[in-house]
Homo-oligomer: A and B are copies of this chain.
Amino acid sequence: MRKKITLKQIARELDVSVSTVSKALSGSKEISEDTTQKIQAFAKLYNYRPNNIALSLKNRKTKTIGILIPEIVHHFFSTVIRGIELIANRRGYNVIVGLSNESFSKEIINMEMLANGSIDGFILSISKETLLKQDYHHFNATINQGIPIVMFDRVVNEVNCDKVIVDDFNGSVKAVKKLIENNCKNIALITTMDYVSVGRLRTQGYIEALEEHKIFADSNLILKIDDSLDVENHLEVLENEIERFFKTNNTIDGVFAVNELYAVTAMKVARKLGLSIPEDIQVIGFTDGVLSKHATPSLTTVSQHGQKMGEQAANLLIDRLEAIDSESDQYIVNDNPKHDFIKIVIETELIERESTK
């Protein structure tokens, strides 16, 4: 078992001082050709690599990004991570992942754990419970400690930081307009409860599109699913709710669902009720994941560009970290700087497949 070698060990072996070794390895020309050669050869032989932890302590930055998300077994979130990891790696950062599991307390614990020196900044999406409670003190506390945050997708006005979102509103508008153009007369919306900002915006888009076409937005055609309680037989409950909804509104000929699962389930229920897709009823979902691609019929969706969101978020965060860096070198940082926070809005696009005409 050959443990990693340290500067000190090299120094002892070669009978020079630690600082000489350090300089030689960094190619400083303070050191003679000879010693440099000797030291570098020895270091290579023993595969010397500086210890990241020691560097972090010295430089007071870890070169790692903390990702805090509600759930990882989820196409959208994992896609975002992939985007973050891609950019992070490219720019010399690592990513450490924490899962809130949609819980307020887990979100806080995770944050505090990582904020104690483990990471330089956060990229996160807020848990449902936090959104419900509307308690954002932990985010602000973190920011006040000088740790920057970039929020994505589930963001909130109450926290001052960089944000990356998709254009949920216009995405919905596009989807619903498509249904209208395709001659749907009774377009239903299947959405979540309003406290998730994303759901609210998508609902607004739905209403806007209808109104633009002078169609009355009948509240009976809106089904709000309460997914805050994560029950065992969630899927069954969902199916039943949708079935009841379809039965009491049997003129529905178009459905816009705010996520894949709702859309796919709606298709399933519709088929069960003897309706064919897209002839009798057309369906559009939001988020372009595996389900959309492989459902039968395949699902027309509003694509959410998760990977791009991740990439943008990572660039935003790293840019800010490096800005802070050079700032603090040059002048004293204003104690309460009116930072200009950036909000990147990613355009959505409609991917047409078989569930619409």
Task: Tell me whether A118 is interfacial, beta carbon within 8 Å.
Answer: yes
A49 touches B291 (CB 8 A): no
B78 touches A94 (CB 8 A): no
Task: Tell me whether A57 is interfacial, beta carbon within 8 Å.
Answer: yes
A116 touches B4 (CB 8 A): yes
A294 touches B291 (CB 8 A): yes
Nearest B residue to A85 via CB reads B99
Task: Tell me whether A268 is interfacial, beta carbon within 8 Å.
Answer: yes
Nearest B residue to A268 via CB reads B296
Task: Tell me whether A26 is interfacial, beta carbon within 8 Å.
Answer: no
B145 touches A2 (CB 8 A): yes
Report the Cα distance A13→B98, complex, angstroms: 35
Interface size on A, residues (CB 8 A): 57
Give every chain B residue within 8 A of A261 (Cβ-Cβ): 294
Task: Take A49-B112, A72-B85, A264-B294 as given contacts and tell me if A336 and B1 are in contact as well, using a CB distance cutoff of 8 Å.
Answer: yes
A3 touches B85 (CB 8 A): no
Give every chain B residue within 8 A of A296 (Cβ-Cβ): 268, 271, 295-296
Task: Tell me whether A82 is interfacial, beta carbon within 8 Å.
Answer: yes
Out of B51, B97, B271, which one reaches A97, CB within 8 Å? Answer: B97
Report the Cα distance A268→B294, complex, angstroms: 9
Q: Encode contact with B along A70-99: 1 for CB under 8 Å, 0 otherwise.
A: 001111001101100100010000111111
Give every chain B residue within 8 A of A336 (Cβ-Cβ): 1
A118 touches B94 (CB 8 A): yes
A346 CB → nearest B CB, Å: 17
B98 touches A94 (CB 8 A): yes
Task: Tell me whether A50 is interfacial, beta carbon within 8 Å.
Answer: yes
Give every chain B residue within 8 A of A273 (Cβ-Cβ): none
Out of B96, B117, B265, which one reaches A96, CB within 8 Å? Answer: B96
Give every chain B residue within 8 A of A1 (Cβ-Cβ): 144-146, 333, 335-336
Task: Tell me whether A215 is interfacial, beta carbon within 8 Å.
Answer: no
- Interface residues of A, Cβ cutoff 8 Å to B: 1-4, 49-54, 56-57, 62, 64, 72-75, 78-79, 81-82, 85, 89, 94-99, 110, 112-118, 144-146, 235, 261, 264-265, 268, 271, 289-291, 293-296, 333, 335-336
Supply 5 further A-B pairs (C-beta < 8 A) apart from A85-B97, A85-B99, A290-B290.
Answer: A53-B57, A64-B118, A73-B75, A290-B291, A295-B296
25 A–B contacts from the bound complex (CB under 8 Å): A4-B115, A50-B116, A51-B116, A52-B116, A52-B117, A53-B53, A53-B57, A53-B62, A53-B118, A54-B57, A74-B78, A81-B97, A82-B99, A85-B97, A85-B98, A89-B99, A89-B110, A94-B113, A94-B118, A95-B96, A96-B96, A268-B294, A289-B290, A290-B290, A294-B295
